[in-house]
Amino acid sequence: MKPIQIPGPIAGCMRWGTWGAGFSRADYRNMIDACLDAGITAFDHADIYGDYTTEAAFGEALRSAPFDRQKMQLISKCGIRMLTPNRPHHRIKSYDTSAEHIILSVENSLNNLATDYLDLLLIHRPDPLLQPDEVAAAVIKLQDAGKIRSFGVSNFLPAQMEMLAKSIPISFNQLECSLFERTAFHDGTIHYCMQHHIIPMAWAPLGGGLLTEESHPRFRAIMQCCEKLSNKYNTGINQLLLAWLHRHPSGIIPVVGTTKIERLVQAREAASISLEREDWFMLLEAAKGEEVA
């Protein structure tokens, strides 16, 4: 199956529900409509968000008024079994990438999200007990039934992607990536994605939203650099941080986990900023605290 196109930025929905803002049905609907009006059409979920409640709350908002499903892209993840009163049969937090669990998780997500298909299904975390052929069988069954349109992974390292890709094509890898968290640039993950035409999606692309002088040793230097470049590019700091990711040739798509439409609009604006090469390295140097070797 040909990989689908996921336009960025992606609206990360993890904090929309009980794990964050506690949106009402009206709040969900207003946020969804505001995103669509701003040209932000992709929404990122996982079955576990909100202790297995956020997908259903999002779906109830969709059911509350007509919408054009063809103009949206719905993403979900599965494979983590959480300890929560909503899953009393779970005895311990664990991973489960069995065919049975994947298929059941997708069926639940489809029902919760009020849709017949997911545009993209991701395996949420690498599972030490993952059987590549079993995952492939589940994915192919779901694709043949029209229940998922594309498949990928989340937080997978190169060797883990390579093992699974021998059984089923991988189109996306959602991983932590930002100016503040650059491990994926150095451990081979981004390079593997580029080599195998896997599109990286960056969660926490702004560093998690909790950056202060106390929480990050290079915070002041980074902010000073951003302020200087903000004047040059006539834009804001958040836009510059996302533009730094966009400048990378791997085609990174940011997943912006905010409850504020203004932040998502800023993220959309960032896609039109083309950082000059030396400015990209200026931000990198500010974050590293030293020039490149």
Q: What is the mean pLDDT of the chain?
A: 95
Report the number of distinct structural domains present in the chain: 1
Decide if 233 is inside a domain. Answer: no
pLDDT reading at 214 higher than 80: no
Given the residues 28, 49, 52, 192, the one annotated as active site: 49
Residue-wise pLDDT tens digits, 192-210: 999 999 999 999 999 876 5
Q: What is the CATH number of the domain that holds 255?
A: 3.20.20.100
Residue-wise pLDDT tens digits, 125-173: 999 999 999 999 999 999 999 999 999 999 999 999 999 999 999 999 9
Decide if 217 is inside a domain. Answer: no
79: left (phi over 0), alpha (psi -120 to 50) or beta: left
DSSP, collapsed to helix, strand or coil, labels residue 154 as: strand
Decide if 22 is inside a domain. Answer: yes
Catalytic (active site) residue 49: yes
How far are the Cα atoms of 131, 227, 241, 270 from residue 235, in angstroms, in the given order?
Answer: 47, 9, 11, 9
* Domain extent for 131: 10-211+248-274
- 254-274 burial, b at 16+ Cβ within 10 Å, e below that, comes to bbbbbbebebbbbbbbbbebe
pLDDT reading at 32 higher than 80: yes
pLDDT reading at 244 higher than 90: yes
Decide if 159 is inside a domain. Answer: yes
- The one-letter code for the residue type at 33 is D
Decide if 204 is inside a domain. Answer: yes
Decide if 284 is inside a domain. Answer: no
